[in-house]
Amino acid sequence: MHKKQRYHCVLTMTTRKLPLTLLCMIVIVSTVSFLPVQEARASTELKYDDGTAENGWSAEPGIEHAVRFSLQPGRSSAKILIARFFIYSNPDTFRLHIYGSGVTDPALDVNPAGTGWFDVDLSSYNIVVSGDFYISIEYLSSQGPAIGMDTTSPIDLRTCSREPPELLWEISESSDLMIRAVVDQVSAPVGGIVMPTNKLEIVAPLAALAGLVVAVSAVVAIKKRRD
Whether the predicted pLDDT of 96 surpasses 90: yes
| CA gap 82, 46 in Å, rounded | 10
Higher pLDDT, 134 or 227: 134
Q: Which pLDDT does position 34 carry in this prediction?
A: 46
Instruction: Return the pLDDT at 222.
Output: 47
| d(C-alpha 160, C-alpha 68), whole Å | 8
CB 149 within 8 A of CB 117: no
pTM of the predicted model as reported, rounded to 2 decimal places: 0.67
* Coil, helix or strand at residue 71: coil
pLDDT computed for residue 29 by the predictor: 43
Question: Which are the contacts of 172, defined by CB distance < 8 A and separation ≥ 6?
Answer: 155, 157, 159, 160, 161
What is the CATH topology of the domain spanning 44-187? Answer: Jelly Rolls (2.60.120)
pLDDT-derived band of residue 151, with 50, 70 and 90 as boundaries? Answer: very high
Query: CA 119 to CA 97: how far, in whole Å?
Result: 14
User: Which amino acid is residue 136, in one-letter code?
Assistant: S
Give the neighbor-by-neighbor strand order of the sheet with 108-110: 108-110, 94-100, 133-139, 64-69, 159-162, 170-171
56-80: average pLDDT = 94
pLDDT tens digits, one per residue of 173-225: 999 999 999 999 886 544 333 334 344 444 444 445 455 444 445 444 445 55
Residue 116, beta-bridge partner list = 87
pLDDT level of residue 63 (50, 70, 90 thresholds): very high
Helix H or strand E segment including 157: none
pLDDT given for residue 167 in this prediction: 81
Q: Model confidence over 30-42: pLDDT tens digits?
A: 444 444 444 445 7
Strands (E), 101-218: 108-110, 116-121, 128-129, 133-139, 146-150, 159-162, 170-171, 176-177, 179-187
Buried b (16+ CB within 10 A) or exposed e, 130-154: beebbbbbbbeeeebbbbbbbeeee
Residues facing 197 on adjacent strands: none
> Rounded to an integer, what distance in angstroms lies between the CA atom of residue 178 and that of residue 151?
10
Are the CB atoms for 176 and 159 separated by under 8 Å? yes
